[in-house]
Chains A and B, each alone.
Chain A
Amino acid sequence: MWSELFLVPLLTGLTLAVLLPLLGCYLRLRDEWLAALAYAHVAAAGALLALVANVPPLIGGMAAAGAAGAGKRALAGRLAGGAAYAFLLLGGWALAVLLAANQPMAERLGHALFDGQLYFAAAAQLPWVALWTGLALAALAALSRQLLLGQVYPDFFRAQCRPSWPVMAGFDLLAALSLALATMVLGVMGAFVLVFIPPWLAFRRARNWRSSLWLAFAIGVLAYGVAFLLALFLDQPFGPVLALVLMVLALLAGG
């Protein structure tokens, strides 16, 4: 009983608390942290749309966010300066809220996604989240050098006659799908705050890239653990508690 109610959500969220801060470091490196919020909103809209259409929400969320990630490069070509992310965010939010307001069966899931109710995480999600996290961490490790090179020396690939688009498009897809999965478990803001604040703090404090990854990881896991216990004992929705814990950490660290 205890395991089903608390241990499964704890472990499912903890797995994502390992992945999201590390993913966030690479999004911040590319100055694409707003993309995380956009993907999360698009995933929420996709999940609600799928629910209304009698399709599993997880599939709908990942399909919508995956499409946004895959189409991001084309969209960014037309909407420069991060405007593409703002449009995706606004579109996802509007669709999700309207679906939740007008479709009774979408209302409960809509509240869970936007309130960040981790305790709805089901036992069936944990193996998938763990598997995806393992794959995503391996992919990040493999792409890390190319992503850093692409930011610091964007012409390096060209001079070496190697195309950069497979690496960049692969990362976009990886980020979108990871955010979609995290949104289904942690909610929109719960996922976003783990992508945003730990890397933000780590980039200011770390001595080098490797230590920034470790620091972001440690901050994410620590904040997640504290927020889980606080939300449980105070009987509060998890997402806002996690956001507040991370913001307090940021203030204490003199961010």
Chain B
Amino acid sequence: MNELLRVHGLVAGWQRPACAALSFFVAPGEVLGLCGPNGVGKSTVLAALAGRAKVFAGRVEQRPGLRLAWQTQEVPPLAGLPLSGRELLALTGAGESGLPPWLAERLSTRLDRLSGGQRHYLALWAILAAPADLLLLDEPTNNLDPAGVDHLGASLRTRAARGQGVIVVSHDAEFVNNACDRVHWLESEHVE
């Protein structure tokens, strides 16, 4: 199997199917965008790939030993927790190299004393820079300013150049067009 991941006729959901059947693959070094209107099941597809959502039909083939890193839209519960940015990165095994300067200089600060944008990017980076073969990113540009979005796009290209695969779910069309090699559109009309 040359691809990192191959999906055949996948129908994923929670109590019931939440998306129409879809097929796609991700090769090493490729950034794939999953796009579509709200409620079409984009996040659910990522959750199914990570093993959290239910697979109702179809199948998912992974390269043996594939290491996944999954960023969800859920905000880590950091309020009142004495955890520094450096400690957060160490938890997932994420490296500090490549962090934007405005974040690198604040790694010793408690996460609950950072701004919302800084905290979000650091929580994203802890997944983005974790040792993984395939990154699953769910709306990563939420709460990011333009500088953060630009840095994220450049970071994804850097990771792809190293052979990592990336699947990005995003409603940000400009970001998807700039950062992704291919875009797979999800349709809602076939959801039961």
Q: Which residues of A contact B (CB under 8 A)?
A: 29, 145, 148-149, 151-153, 155-156, 158-161, 202-204, 206-212
Contacts of A149 on B, CB cut-off 8 Å?
Answer: 91-92
Q: Which residues of A contact B91 (CB under 8 A)?
A: 145, 148-149, 152-153
Tell me which of A161, A204, A207 contacts B108 (CB under 8 A). Answer: A207
B81 at the interface (CB under 8 A from A): yes
Are B77 and A151 closer than 8 Å at their CB atoms? Answer: yes
Question: Contacts A153-B92, A158-B52, A203-B80 hold; do A208 and B110 have CB atoms under 8 A apart?
Answer: yes
Q: Does B51 contact A (CB under 8 A)?
A: yes
The answer to whether B81 touches A208, judged by C-beta atoms less than 8 angstroms apart, is no
Interface of B with A (CB < 8 Å)? 50-52, 67-70, 72, 76-78, 80-84, 86-88, 91-92, 108, 110, 126-127, 136
Establish whether residues B51 and A161, one from each chain, have CB atoms under 8 Å apart when the complex forms.
yes
The 5 closest A-B pairs by CB, nearest first: A208-B84, A206-B82, A212-B82, A159-B70, A159-B68
Measured CB to CB, the nearest residue on chain A to B51 is: A158
Q: Which one, B50, B81, B108, contacts A158 given CB within 8 A?
A: B50
Whether A156 and B84, one on each chain, are in contact in the complex, defined by CB atoms closer than 8 angstroms, is no
Which residues from chain B contact A204 at a C-beta distance below 8 Å?
Answer: 80
The winner among A155, A156, A202 for most chain B CB atoms within 10 A is A155
Compute how far the CA of A29 lies from the CA of B76 in the bound complex, rounded to whole angstroms: 12
Question: Residues of A contacting B86 with CB < 8 Å?
Answer: 208
Q: Which residue in chain B gives the minimum CB-CB distance to A213?
A: B82
Q: In the docked arrangement, what's the CA distance between A211 and B108, Å? A: 12
User: What's the minimum C-beta distance from B82 to chain A, rounded to whole angstroms?
Assistant: 4
Return the chain A residue nearest B80 by Cβ: A203
Specify which chain B residues have a CB less than 8 angstroms from the CB of A145 in the assembled complex.
Answer: 91
Complex: A29 Cα to B87 Cα, angstroms: 14
Q: Measured between alpha carbons, how far is A208 from B110 in the docked complex, in Å?
A: 6
Find out whether the CB atom of A153 lies under 8 angstroms from the CB atom of B77: no
Contact B83 A208 (CB under 8 A): yes
A202–B69 alpha-carbon span in the complex (Å): 32
Determine whether the beta carbon of B83 is less than 8 Å from that of A148. yes
Known: A158-B70, A159-B69, A203-B80. 13 other contacts (CB 8 A): A149-B92, A152-B78, A152-B88, A152-B91, A153-B127, A158-B51, A158-B52, A159-B70, A161-B51, A204-B80, A207-B84, A207-B110, A209-B82
Please give, as numbers and ranges, the residues of chain A lying within 8 Å of B87 by CB-CB distance. Answer: 148, 208-210
Contact partners of A29 in chain B: CB under 8 A: 81
Least CB separation from A146: chain B residue: B91
Q: Please, how many angstroms separate the alpha-carbon atoms of A212 and B77 in the complex?
A: 17
* Complex contacts, B72 vs chain A, CB 8 Å: 155
Q: In the assembled complex, which residues on chain B have CB atoms less than 8 Å from the CB atom of A151?
A: 77, 81
Do residues B70 and A208 form an inter-chain contact, with CB atoms below 8 A? Answer: no
CB atoms of B68 and A152 under 8 A apart: no
A-B CB contact pairs (8 Å), 22 listed: A152-B76, A152-B77, A152-B81, A153-B76, A155-B50, A155-B72, A158-B50, A158-B51, A159-B68, A159-B69, A160-B68, A161-B68, A202-B82, A203-B81, A204-B80, A206-B82, A207-B84, A207-B110, A208-B82, A208-B84, A208-B86, A209-B83
Q: Which residues of A contact B88 (CB under 8 A)?
A: 152
Residues in chain A near residue B84, CB distance under 8 A = 207-209
In whole angstroms, how far apart are the Cα atoms of A206 and B80 in the complex?
10
- A198 → chain B closest CB, angstroms: 13
Interface centre among A149, A153, A202 (most CB of B within 10 A): A153
CA A101 to CA B67, docked complex, whole Å: 59
CB pair B50 A207 closer than 8 Å: no
Closest CB of chain A to B54's CB: distance in Å? 13
